[in-house]
Amino acid sequence: MAGRLRDGSIDVEAVVVLDAAGGLVEASCADSGRRRELGELARELVERADAASDEPVAQIEVQTATGAVFAVRDHLHAIACVTRRSALPSLTLYDLGRALAELRAETEAA
């Protein structure tokens, strides 16, 4: 899932999938240290977004001068990606949402 999302767009640089507890399920990068780091950063992003809201946040978008981070989640998983600045937010969130729906269907079917 993570590799497919990264390979599906020239703007996506890295993707991580977390379980409901924030544990790393999958990452698109090969380096194990980088995988752990991105997983921890994604978990922290979701936690901080939740802390700023009255209810769990379903979508997150953070823009910087050089890139962006997007995340979507449901009750089973969160998927986060790091993109170049040129990534279109609506398309990126749509792709992440579709991937999350596929992952949810696979998990519930198992």
Residue 38: which domain range?
2-109
Give pLDDT, residue 99. Answer: 96
Q: How many residues does the chain have?
A: 110
Please name which of 76, 93, 106 lies closest in space to residue 5, comparing C-alpha atoms.
Answer: 93
Give pLDDT, residue 2. Answer: 82
Give pLDDT, residue 79. Answer: 98
pLDDT in tens, the chain (110 residues): 788 889 888 999 999 999 999 999 999 999 999 999 999 999 999 999 999 999 999 999 999 999 999 999 999 999 999 999 999 999 999 999 999 999 999 999 98
CATH number at 48 reads 3.30.450.30
- Number of domains comprising the chain: 1
- The pTM of the whole model exceeds 0.85: yes
On whether the CB atoms of residues 3 and 28 are closer than 8 A, the answer is yes
Measured distance CA(7)–CA(30) in Å, rounded = 14
Tokens of 22: 């924030």
